Structure 1
Amino acid sequence: MMFTVGQRVELAVELGLGLPVTVAGGADAGAGPDVGGGAGADAATRGDRYGGGRGDRVFPGAVVGSLGLAAGTRGTVERVDSHERQPDGAVREYLRLRSLLDDFGPQMPAASRARLAEEVAELEPGWRAFEAERLRVTVRVRLDNGFLVEGTDPAALRATADPETRPSAG
């Protein structure tokens, strides 16, 4: 389902969230990877997404706490983002060979045409998978309880018929 800005939605599934433990300033220096961005640090251990800074330590297996958002929690769509996936080498090769076969196939010798058709057939499953996931849509929703859920797959949401009903400040 395609959502629009301002539309009322509710969570179709329960969301469970947890963040890794980050200790500032390198406390307990013997444990956890250095998240200062050194040569061995990768995106999962740098901690920059969650505010970890230079010299902080991240403990990916440990969680301070968790937050559960129940299915049926309502909110309002604030933004809808489309992300177009870029084709990889196999997809580009499929497009090149398919074009070659379509444009010059009738003029090719039968053996060359058959070999080219075989190569296209081998690459076609990758092309179909790419086409199915070419455009990825994510949604940013401000829930009525004040939480913001960003980068949400639309499959985790369902539209509601409710008009916007926010608690009045009183």
Structure 2
Amino acid sequence: MRESLYCRTCAGIQRASYLPHGLLMALMSRLMTLTGIIVLIGMLPWLSDGDPAMALLRARSAEQEATPEALAAIRQSLGLDQGPVNLLINWLSGLLQGDAGNSWISGRPVLPGMLQAAQVSLTLMMMSAAVALMLAAMICLPTFRRGLQAGHTVQQDYWRPY
């Protein structure tokens, strides 16, 4: 009897010791994923086939001639001539200070548009969660009623492993 109590106690301590490690690993995994997504999004203009300055010039004004002077002016004004890594570092430092930057096309701040899009996304998410909850309740309620009518109850210690 004493040995089984010792084993249960040791097993409980051993399981509890894995919790901080698992939590740390989950946090590190999420942080690395977020970093990868940010770097990938930051590098998208350079990963595409064309020149980012050329794409920006066409997006701003389709009629304007793509002269080397116009492209150089766009590269210099947006910092594209510094390279993608420096541009990403500058953007991240601004983001840490609360500045998400300006749109390359319109020149307006990006944060208000992001907040408006997040508001719409959160509304859609809440509505879909409400519909899913109602649907789950409608599916489970008849089974729950049948269980109550038959007198079946869940034992209090049913979920305990020992």
TM-score (norm 1): 0.20
Decide which structure has greater strand share: 1
Normalized against structure 2, the TM-score is what? 0.21
Structure 1 or 2: more helix by fraction: 2
Instruction: Determine which structure has greater relative contact order: mean sequence separation of CA pairs < 8 Å that are 6+ residues apart, divided by chain length.
Output: 1
Q: Which has the larger radius of gyration?
A: 2
